[in-house]
Amino acid sequence: MDYDFNEDKAYVERRNARRVLEREKLRKKKLFARRVTIVGIMLLTLILIITLIVLGIKAIFNIGKEEVQETVAATIAPTEAPVDLTFNKPSIPDDKDAKGNISTQNNAVYIYNKAAYELFTGDETSAKAYADCISEFKYELGEDVTVYDMVVPSHVEFGVPERLIKEDKINTNSQADNIKTIYTSYTEDVKPINCYNELSDHFKEYLYFNTDSNWTGLGAYYAYKTFCEQTDQKVLNLEVCKENQASGFEGSLLYCDGGLYENLDTVHYWTFPYNTYAMRTEYMGVEPFETSIYYEGATSGPYTYGAFIWGDCPLFVEYNQDLTNGKKIAVVKESYGNALVPYLTANYEQVHVIDYRYYQGSLVDYCEDNGIDEVLFVNNIISANASSRVDAIKTLL
């Protein structure tokens, strides 16, 4: 077979042409890749620059905002507490020769100067449990109902000198500290009513009974006065009222010491210069009946405190017939509330008094059904720190 030189030459030329074409394609690929890399680097650089600019602008505005906030904080006075949470314990006169003693009939009662004083053992835990309970009611009642809470100190806080408490190692704790813990532990917008200082200012007056755990009508009046002052309402003047009294009250602590029989109590109460009446529900499930706010037939004996709203019952509704302001309030109470609620008729057309120990039903439903937008809880400090009483209050939820 003869060798065709021209054919071989043509093959070489085609091969070389393919190689040139392949090298050109490779060159273009490398050039494209280089351009992509350059563009990518430029984009990343641009993004970085933009990010730095944004952060810088934000920082500038934040600095300005902080300066404005600091200026505002420096020119606006801080919000004041809704109630004075300082507690002014009185300087109780101390007869250096006088000695008190724990009752032989009840080791939770201290006898001093022919008066019986219930000892207080509440602590921070029990105080916060009570505050949580009241907060729960505020949550359930909602933002349209204002909830007040008044914790009333007991007689021992204002009647026994500090020396005797220390020397005799009486187990009674600071009520001022406990009330402050309650008033600063609410988890909802509850309005505390601090009557401690008003009672302290008048501690030499007849504010508590000698033979009973309750306070007097005068002690309750000073608490009412505090409520009005702290809710911006006019205070009823006792001078325009008629004072009444029933002597020989034999209180629930009389059995604690024989010497107490020499120091029986007198119940003072004041009738008002306006017309009132009440509807009393004697027991749950029975129809209420009309009566007066005070039982003016009260006489000596163990039931004299019943002059106030005729004693305890599930529901007692007071009406001021001469008042037309449309205001209503529900008062959730134990026996301390009995002496307090009559005064509220000077400020409210209707005062709905609910004793949580006997009432069966929902406080929320009651307020809704009766168009009530103010609720006042009144508890003496021993009740406020008793788990059984807190549980009883919760039955109204």
The pLDDT tens digits of the residues spanning 17-28 come to: 666 566 666 566
Q: For residue 67, give both structure tokens.
A: 């300066």
pLDDT at residue 18, as a whole number? 62
Residue type for position 46: L
Q: Higher model confidence: residue 55 or residue 140?
A: 140
What's the pLDDT at 5?
44
- Residue 247 clears pLDDT 60, i.e. is over it: yes
- Torsion sign, CA atoms 375, 289, 250, 265: positive
Biggest alpha carbon–alpha carbon distance for the chain: 157
With CA atoms as reference, report the closest residue to 384 among 96, 186, 162. Answer: 186
**Residue predicted with more confidence, 58 or 227:** 227
- CB atoms under 10 Å from CB of 271, counted, come to 15
Mean per-residue pLDDT over the chain, rounded:
87
Q: What is the pLDDT of residues 302-359, one digit of tens each?
A: 999 999 999 999 999 999 999 999 999 999 999 999 999 999 999 999 999 999 999 9
Distance CA 214, CA 220 (A): 10
Q: Helix, strand or coil for residue 122?
A: coil
Q: What local confidence, expressed as pLDDT, does residue 84 receive?
A: 76
Q: How many CB atoms lie within 10 A of CB 158?
A: 21
C-alpha 296/C-alpha 346 separation (Å) is 19
- Measure CA 194 to chain center: 11
Rg (CA), the chain: 39
**Average pLDDT score over residue span 382-395:** 98
The token pair that represents 147 in the structure block:
């909830």
User: Please, are residues 333 and 355 in contact by the beta-carbon 8 Å criterion?
Assistant: yes
47, pLDDT greater than 50: yes
Task: Return d(Cα 139, Cα 114) in angstroms, integer.
Answer: 45
User: pLDDT tens-digit profile of 79-128?
Assistant: 234 567 899 989 888 877 777 899 999 999 999 999 999 999 999 999 99
Helix (H) or strand (E) holding 391: helix 387-394
Contact (CB, 8 A) for 148 and 135: no
Tell which residue, 128, 108, 111, 131, has the closest CA to residue 120. 108
> How do residues 174-215 score in pLDDT, each as one tens digit?
999 999 999 999 999 999 999 999 999 999 999 999 999 999
